[in-house]
């Protein structure tokens, strides 16, 4: 079936998708190493070809129109399908790697990744799989340096990634305040409010972890800061410290589920503050393989 006229070019679609994702023409221009006027001209040309207005431009910047928001989703689909085309051609050319390198933050590695790897191995039985478990900050570094093919992170803020890196949110996670049953907080009748939480010394993860980042950034959004009783490099050690009564902790509901269900920890309700973070997958477009594509598709459809 012949293509409908006129035909839009992929470069303009890619540029508009970047503007939609980053929220400004200036940021998109920097990402694509182009001048701002050149990007603006491309978007104007795309609007002309499509016959719709994509951006509302003003002295304060550019924002997506309602139509632009719809078109942006279509552009994402087109770009993803183009990636699929390139991967398929690599497969036909016999250039696929027989291994996949994964990096994951601790919480996702503990609760999601093993099942994904099992499904991956069931589909590609001869595939070699390696997994690095590091904090979210290190995952981004490994992806940026192309040391791994796909990574999983749990930061509240979208990571700063180059145009050669893909990023999608596949789920969301809630952090909860937990204490030992012996703590006075375990018998408290009313929720803890932000100022009270900020005054508590907590046992926390190290700098660079997604759990630490969302805790600090959420408190900072209310003009509050974190008080640290102890800093530990794993969720397990923090759970054990909280169970022993060292100090309260704020951890993923997935991490504390077993301890709270068996009464070793008690959830303390919060009021006026909520710790929610997106769980994201990031990958290198340049090193995308059939295996990486399968893993991302599996995760986005089954989580």
pLDDT value, residue 200: 95
Residues 150-159 have pLDDT tens digits of 999 988 776 6
The whole-number pLDDT of residue 33 equals 83
Taking the complete model, does pTM exceed 0.85, yes or no?
Answer: no
How many alpha carbons fall within 13 Å on the CB side of residue 145? 9
Rounded to the nearest 10 degrees, the angle between the axes of helix 66-92 and helix 10-22 is 120
pLDDT at 28: 84
Higher pLDDT, 126 or 201: 201
Length of the chain: 303
Encoded tokens for 267: 């959830």
CATH code for the domain defined by 10-89:
1.10.10.10
Largest CA distance in the chain: 72
- Between CA 172 and CA 165, with CA 24 as vertex, the angle to 5 degrees is 55
Domain boundaries in the chain?
Answer: 10-89, 97-171+278-302, 173-276
Percent pLDDT > 70 in the chain is 91
d(CA 250, CA 213): 12
- Three-state SS at 177: strand
Q: Does this chain's domain 10-89 share its CATH topology with 97-171+278-302?
A: no
**Cα separation of 127 and 238, whole Å?**
35
173-276 belongs to CATH 3.30.70.240: no
Alpha-carbon dihedral 202, 206, 209, 214, rounded to 10 degrees: 30
Note the pLDDT tens digit of each residue in 270-279.
999 999 999 9
Ranges 31-35, 158-162, 192-196: which has the least confidence: 158-162
The pLDDT of residue 88 is 67
**Strand, helix or coil at 55?**
strand
Positions of E strands within the chain: 55-58, 61-64, 99-104, 128-133, 150-153, 165-179, 201-205, 227-232, 249-252, 266-268, 275-284
Please tell me the distance from the alpha carbon of residue 94 to that of residue 92, in angstroms, as a whole number. 5
In sequence order, the β-bridge partners of residue 277 are 173
Once rounded to an integer, what is the mean pLDDT over residues 17-31? 84
For 283, the token pair is 């990958």
DSSP single-letter state for residue 132: E
Q: What is the pLDDT of residue 237?
A: 93
Q: Which CATH superfamily is domain 97-171+278-302 in?
A: Periplasmic binding protein-like II (3.40.190.10)
State the pLDDT at residue 290.
84
Mean predicted confidence (pLDDT) in 260-289: 91
Query: Which is more confident, 67 or 299?
Result: 67
Mean pLDDT score, 208-217 = 90
Residue 5 confidence (pLDDT):
62
Looking only at the bridges linking them, the beta strands covering 99-104 and 128-133 are parallel
Q: What is the pLDDT of residues 49-106, one digit of tens each?
A: 999 999 988 777 788 899 999 998 898 888 888 877 776 676 555 545 578 999 999 8
Nearest to 61 by CA among 30, 25, 12: 25
């Amino acid at each position: 079936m012949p293509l409908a006229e006129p035909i839009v070019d992929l470069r303009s679609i890619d540029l508009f998708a970047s503007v939609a994702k980053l929220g400004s023409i200036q940021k998109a221009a920097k990402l694509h190493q182009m001048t701002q006027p050149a990007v603006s001209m491309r978007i104007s040309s795309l609007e002309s070809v499509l016959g719709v207005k994509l951006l509302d431009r003003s002295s304060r910047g550019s924002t997506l129109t309602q139509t632009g928001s719809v078109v942006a989703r279509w552009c994402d689909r087109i770009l993803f399908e183009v990636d699929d085309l390139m991967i398929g051609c690599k497969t036909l050319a016999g250039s696929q790697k027989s291994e996949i390198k994964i990096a994951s933050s601790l919480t996702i590695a503990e609760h999601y990744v093993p099942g994904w790897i099992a499904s991956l191995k069931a589909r590609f039985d001869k595939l070699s799989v390696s997994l690095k478990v590091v904090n979210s900050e290190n995952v981004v570094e490994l992806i940026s340096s192309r040391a791994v093919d796909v990574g999983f992170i749990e930061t509240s803020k979208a990571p700063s990634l180059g145009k050669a890196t893909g990023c999608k949110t596949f789920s969301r996670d809630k952090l909860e305040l937990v204490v030992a049953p012996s703590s006075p907080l375990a018998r408290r009748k009313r929720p803890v409010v932000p100022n009270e939480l900020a005054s508590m010394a907590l046992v926390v993860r190290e700098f660079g972890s997604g759990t630490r980042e969302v805790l600090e950034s959420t408190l900072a959004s209310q003009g509050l800061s974190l008080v640290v009783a102890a800093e530990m490099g794993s969720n397990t050690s923090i759970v054990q410290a909280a169970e022993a009564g060292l100090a309260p902790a704020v951890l993923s509901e997935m991490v504390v589920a077993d301890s709270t269900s068996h009464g070793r920890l008690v959830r303390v309700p919060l009021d006026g503050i909520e710790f929610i973070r997106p769980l994201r997958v990031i990958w290198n477009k340049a090193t995308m393989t059939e295996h990486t594509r399968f893993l991302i598709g599996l995760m986005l459809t089954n989580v």
